[in-house]
Amino acid sequence: MVIRAYRFALDPTPRQARDLARHSGAARVAFNWGLAAVKANLNQREAERSYGIDDHELTPVLGWSLPTLRKAWNRAKDEAAPWWRECSKEAFNTGLDQLARALKNWSTSRDRHRAGRKMGFPRFKTKRACVPSVRFTTGAIRVEQDCRHVTLPRLGLIKTHESTGKLERRLTASTARILCATVRFDRGRWFVAFTVETAPAMKTPRQPDAVIGVDLGVRHLAVLSDGTMIENPRRHDASRRKLAQTSRAVSRRRGPDRQKGQRPSNRWLQANAARNKIHHRVANQRRDGIHKLTTMLAREYGTVVVEDLNLAGMVRNRRLAIQIRDAGFGEIRRQLTYKTQWNGGHLIVADRWYPSSKTCSGCGAVKLKLRPAQRTFSCTKCGLVLDRDHNAARNLAALAAAVAGSGPERVNGRGADRKTAQRAAGGPEASIPHPAAYAAGIRREPVSVGGYVLEIR
């Protein structure tokens, strides 16, 4: 059994939309109340400690776990939120659970027990900045048999914008069980996501023995090793003129000013909604295109090879930052990770320092320099002339032979914390053999070829 999520767009009535906003606001109130209580407790103990009071005589510590915060909320909810009966208890539990997770993340990050970037101490949520959401774990949570309605606690029957048949069929066949439902306001509309425990279906790609190398770029969104070039739609560039027009309209209206306590005018709200609508459309188009691309790759090929790109460093280039963010390289990598597993394939992630663009896919010669403006790769040894991205994709596909039948996936998915390995004199280019020679060293463990680590997903 695996845990999956099924996400559907909702079409609530105006009254149901107000109820959803009320429940998400209740979660924000509970979060802020719990954070204020925790900070007050910490400040009180720190003040008492400054007066020389012994630790055993200090104010008792307010626990950061969800059960402790929930007990404290039940004792203070009549005073903190006299209207608490208007919302489901799950709304307040959502805010307290978010606070407990945030405090735990900060504590483990401070003690260096948590991987990833350093987490800061939780901050209060504002109505404008936070994303409205509420999670339901108990009560009437079901998908109706007409595949057009869902039922949620205290909210009742809500119409969906799209069919829920793919989840309803699994529930009817007793191959799935709903664990919880999360309602979230995202990109201008409400969505519901059902967390479901289900049995995965055994699938096989159409070409289980085929290997495809995928080179991501800005000029072409993806270039495959078989020569297929997928154009970059550049959704943001297509809507840049409309965004400029709506942004100028917003700047002419009277907007909000928190320092002066000024509220936005109705015309500013209308102009801002028009601008947000364009942003939402661009994001939806980008997401739809990426889903279609990754689904095609995962269903068609048994092995997909991609590069481990340094996106944080790439976006520092002010000339290409917008285009790189608009392409969504990180989202493509993330979707390929789980879609290849769902379809019975493998994802191989080449080391980010592997010179796929500088290596000749014909003879294996490595160029010392290759400027980004040079879009055609010309080999001085074998005379191969090929598109730069196509040559890189062919080199990535050749790497798959080195890890055929190797062990399970590596723990470090990004591979960014590996220090540069020691190599022979003459630089990394002089120590990289031809990719076709990797096939002779097939092993049953994760492979390091020429100092470059390959990962299997």
Q: Which residues are catalytic?
A: 215, 307, 389
Distances (CA, A) of 347 to 239, 408, 433: 34, 11, 23
Contacts of residue 122, Cβ cutoff 8 Å, sequence gap at least 6? 35, 99, 102, 103, 106
Count of residues in the chain = 457
Cα angle for residues 179, 184, 186 (degrees, 5° grid): 140
Tokens 């999670």 sit at which residue? 135
DSSP state, 264? P
Sign of CA dihedral 82, 86, 89, 94: negative
CA 36 to each of CA 40, 96, 109, 119, 129: distance values in angstroms, whole numbers, following the listed order: 6, 12, 21, 19, 18
For CA atoms 428, 431, 437, 441, the dihedral sign is negative
Q: Which two tokens stand for residue 358?
A: 């500088």
User: Structure tokens of 11?
Assistant: 């079409």
If one counts every other C-beta atom within 10 angstroms of the C-beta of residue 138, the result is 11
With beta carbons less than 8 A apart as the criterion, state whether 413 and 455 touch.
Answer: yes
Q: How far apart are CA 15 and CA 19, in angstroms?
A: 6
Please give the Cα distance from 203 to 209 (Å, whole number).
Answer: 14
Minimal CA–CA distance to 71: which of 96, 98, 95, 107?
A: 96
